[in-house]
């Protein structure tokens, strides 16, 4: 008897773009495991131990993984660097490609089949956020506006001036930018809006895996050595150094 080959792809996914550290294994249309921690520990302390525990529980041989999906940014500079280094190390040691998943689009994947617009926001400090604007068509995510960094009030103005057909069914906000800016959103956004519940309002490696698999199947992956995080803007240290160079008299 000839056995049918198992063609289900296996994706290892990592997200350390914010305070949340998350790792997951996707096989075909099943999440085999997901380990997520939102606690005051550095990702260098949590990410690899979480992955080790998943492998132990699943009795998983990492050589059976087809690709590593990484939340590529934007996000915390330190978190992105740790996630990038971890993903690159795994990709190089296993000889498999990396799938660079936009952080904010992966967050929008937390809310499949949502009606209206989905607006993930991450706190970028100094009254700015990293944001994207997405929507679902069935189970397929569409990007209405690519992710970028901008002032919170500029984001709200952008949403308020969008075509009524896009905003008629409201806007759902999620991400760590909600907590510091929720009052500002409620004050300045007249459009109907709501906030994602606790189980869907932060980064999840399972969502990175699902979107990563779709990108992988579309051939959108890179050699591990070529991966670099997407920061969208310069770090605070870089901005301060440039300011000193431009205005040395103030140093």
Rounded to the nearest 10°, the torsion over CA 127, 82, 208, 89 is: 160
Average pLDDT, the chain: 91
Domains 10-104+203-237 and 111-200 share a fold: yes
Taking 60 as the threshold, does the pLDDT of residue 240 lie above it?
no
Instruction: Give the domain ranges of the chain.
Output: 10-104+203-237, 111-200
* pLDDT tens digits, 109-145: 999 999 999 999 999 999 999 999 999 998 899 999 9
* pLDDT tens digits, 166-181: 999 999 999 999 999 9
Through-space distance between the first and last CA atoms of the chain, rounded to whole angstroms: 79
Q: Does the structural domain 10-104+203-237 have CATH classification 3.30.420.40?
A: yes
φ, ψ dihedrals at 51, nearest 5°: -65, -40
Q: Is 225 left (phi over 0), alpha (psi -120 to 50) or beta?
A: alpha
φ, ψ dihedrals at 176, nearest 5°: -75, -5
Peptide bond into 74 cis (omega under 30): yes
Q: Under DSSP, is residue 83 helix (H, G, I), strand (E, B) or coil?
A: helix
Work out the pLDDT band at 233, boundaries 50, 70, 90: confident
Superfamily grouping for domain 111-200 = ATPase, nucleotide binding domain (3.30.420.40)
Distance CA 130, CA 152 (A): 9
Query: How high is the pLDDT of residue 6?
Result: 47
Query: How high is the pLDDT of residue 5?
Result: 39
Taking 90 as the threshold, does the pLDDT of residue 247 lie above it?
no
């Amino acid at each position: 008897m000839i056995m049918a080959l198992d063609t289900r792809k296996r994706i290892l996914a990592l997200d350390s773009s914010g305070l949340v550290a998350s790792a997951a294994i996707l096989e075909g249309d099943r999440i085999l495991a997901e380990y997520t921690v939102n606690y005051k520990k550095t990702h260098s302390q949590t990410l690899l131990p979480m992955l080790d525990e998943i492998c132990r529980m699943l009795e998983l041989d990492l050589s059976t993984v087809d690709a590593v999906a990484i939340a590529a940014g934007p996000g915390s500079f330190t978190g992105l660097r740790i996630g990038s280094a971890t993903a690159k190390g795994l990709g190089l040691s296993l000889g498999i490609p990396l799938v660079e998943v936009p952080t904010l689009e992966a967050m929008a994947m937390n809310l499949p089949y949502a009606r209206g617009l989905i607006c993930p926001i991450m706190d970028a400090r100094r009254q700015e956020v990293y944001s994207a604007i997405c929507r679902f068509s069935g189970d397929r995510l569409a990007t209405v506006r690519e992710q970028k960094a901008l002032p919170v009030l500029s984001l709200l103005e952008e949403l308020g001036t969008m075509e009524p057909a896009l905003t008629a069914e409201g806007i759902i906000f999620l991400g760590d930018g909600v907590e510091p800016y929720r009052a500002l959103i409620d004050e300045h956004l007249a459009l109907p809006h709501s906030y994602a519940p606790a189980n869907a309002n932060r980064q999840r490696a399972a969502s990175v895996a699902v979107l990563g698999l779709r990108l992988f199947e579309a051939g959108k992956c890179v050699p591990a050595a070529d991966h670099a995080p997407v920061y969208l803007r310069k770090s605070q240290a870089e901005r301060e150094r440039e300011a000193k160079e431009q205005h040395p008299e103030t140093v």
